[in-house]
Copies of this chain bind each other. A is one copy, B any other.
C-alpha cells in the first residue's frame, strides 16, 4: 500500500447489503430508535397475554396520552405493532415477524 496511484485498500469484496434492502429496513430501525418506543414494545412483548391496552401503557410513562398515542402510531405504521379495538379500549400486540426481520440483520455471515 505504499504504491501511490493504486488502490489504497481492499475492494470491499463480499456480499454487502443492497441499497434497496437498506431503504427497506431503515424505517424499522428508525421506529425502534427511541427510548419510549423501545420500552413500549418491551412492555407489550413482556405482558402475560402478549398484548396491552393504551390505558396501562399510558401509566408507565410520564408523558401525555397524546404523545403515547403518537408513538404507538409510529410503531403501528412501521408494521411493528398490531392494533385491535375491543369496546372502548384499544389493544396493541407485537408482530413477531417484523421483529425477527430486524433480528436477521444482526446475523450477517460477514460478522461470524
Residues of A at under 8 Å CB distance from B? 1-2, 7-17, 19, 22-23, 25-26, 29-30, 32-36, 38-39, 42-43, 45-49, 51-53, 55-56, 58-60, 86-89, 91, 94, 96, 99-100, 102-103, 106-108, 110-111
Which residues of B sit under 8 angstroms from A38, Cβ to Cβ? 17, 22, 25-26, 29
For A88, the closest partner residue in chain B by CB is: B8
Q: Given A33-B30, A59-B1, are A48 and B13 neighbors across the interface (CB < 8 Å)?
A: yes
A9 CA / B35 CA spacing, docked (Å): 24
Q: Given A9-B56, A47-B12, are A33 and B29 neighbors across the interface (CB < 8 Å)?
A: yes
A64 CA / B45 CA spacing, docked (Å): 41
Q: Give which listed residue, B29, B53, B59, B94, contacts A111 with CB less than 8 A.
A: B94
